[in-house]
Amino acid sequence: MSQVTVFYGLYGSGKSEVSINYALCLAREGRAVTIVDLDAVTPYFRVRDVRERLLEEGVRVVAPKESVRHADLPVLPEGIRRILMHGEGDIVVDVGGDPTGARVLGGLKDALRPGARGLFVVNANRPFSRTLDEAEEAVRRVTTSAGLPPQGLVSNTHMGELTQIEHISYGLEFAEALGRRLGLPVVMVGVPAWLKSQEEELAGALHGAEPLYLERYLLKPWEIPE
C-alpha cells in the first residue's frame, strides 16, 4: 500500500531532515518514493538544495524548478496537484514551518489522497515548543493552517552536534505527554545516526518506540566533506 506522509511543524523542528531521511529509508526498502518540497518560506537548508543526492538514491524530487530555486517568492512545484492526487508510490511531503509555511498545504488539501497522514515534528529544545502548553498551541495552529488534522507526532528533540541519549529520552517523554493531551501517538523518534552505537542506552531511552535514524544532509559550508 502506498502512502502519503506529510511532515509539518514549527520552523527549525527538523522537518526537512526528517523528510529526507524518511524518504531515503523507504527508497532503501525498495519502494518507489517521491519527496515533495512544499517549503515556500525558508531561504536556506531546504530539500531542493540536496536534490542531486536524493536522485542518486532513486528518490524522485518534486520541487520548484531550478530557475527559481533562489527566488525570494513563494513558488510551488509545477504539477503539484496532479502529483499529490495521482503520483505513484509513496509520497513524502516536507511542509514549510509555522502556520505561515503550513498555509501552502491548506491551499492544496483537496488534492491530498484520502488516508494521507499528517505527522507533527516536535523538538522540545526549540523556542515556542519548550513547554507542553506552547507545543500544544503550536500543533493546533500549524495543523489548522495546513487543513490536515494530525495523525501522530514525530519526536525530534536534539541539540545539534551536542545531542546525547538524554535529549532523546527527554524528547520522547515530552512528545508522549503532548500526545496524551492531544490523543495522538508518537509514531517516530528522530535519532542521530551516530548514537546508534550506544545500543543499550538507546533501547532504554526508546522503550519500544520506533527510531528514525537521521544522517544529516543539509550541511553548513564547513561541514561539506571532500
What is the arrangement of strands in the sheet containing 150-155, beginning at the earlier edge strand?
A: 60-62, 33-38, 90-95, 4-9, 117-122, 150-155, 186-192, 211-214
Q: Please say which residue, 57 or 166, places its beta carbon nearer to another protein.
A: 166
**At closest approach, how far in Å is the CB of 100 from another protein?**
9
Q: Please say which residue, 92 or 124, places its beta carbon nearer to another protein.
A: 124
Q: Please say which residue, 110 or 161, places its beta carbon nearer to another protein.
A: 161
**At closest approach, how far in Å is the CB of 23 from another protein?**
21
Q: Are strands 4-9 and 150-155 parallel, antiparallel or unpaired?
A: unpaired
Cα–Cα dist 69/37, whole Å = 11
Count of positions (residues) in the chain? 226
**At closest approach, how far in Å is the CB of 188 from another protein?**
19
Classify 2 as helix, strand or coil: coil
**At closest approach, how far in Å is the CB of 182 from another protein?**
21
C-alpha cell at position 194? 551516530
Query: Roughly how many angstroms between the first and final C-alpha of the chain, as a whole number?
Result: 39
Q: Please say which residue, 88 or 131, places its beta carbon nearer to another protein.
A: 131
Q: Please say which residue, 11 or 217, places its beta carbon nearer to another protein.
A: 11
- For 69, other C-beta atoms within 10 Å of its C-beta total 14
Q: Please say which residue, 45 or 213, places its beta carbon nearer to another protein.
A: 45
Judge whether 122 and 175 are in contact, CB under 8 Å: yes
**At closest approach, how far in Å is the CB of 41 from another protein?**
9
- The CA radius of gyration of the chain, in Å to the nearest whole number, is 17
Q: Which residues pair with 94 in a beta bridge?
A: 7, 37
**At closest approach, how far in Å is the CB of 147 from another protein?**
22
Judge whether 185 and 45 are in contact, CB under 8 Å: no
**At closest approach, how far in Å is the CB of 31 from another protein?**
30
Contact positions vs another protein (CB under 8 A)? 11-12, 42-45, 70, 72, 123-128, 130, 158-160, 162, 166-167, 170, 220-224, 226
DSSP string, 118-145: EEEEE-TTSTT-SSHHHHHHHHHHHHHH
Q: Please say which residue, 59 or 139, places its beta carbon nearer to another protein.
A: 139
- Written as one letter, the residue type at 158 is H
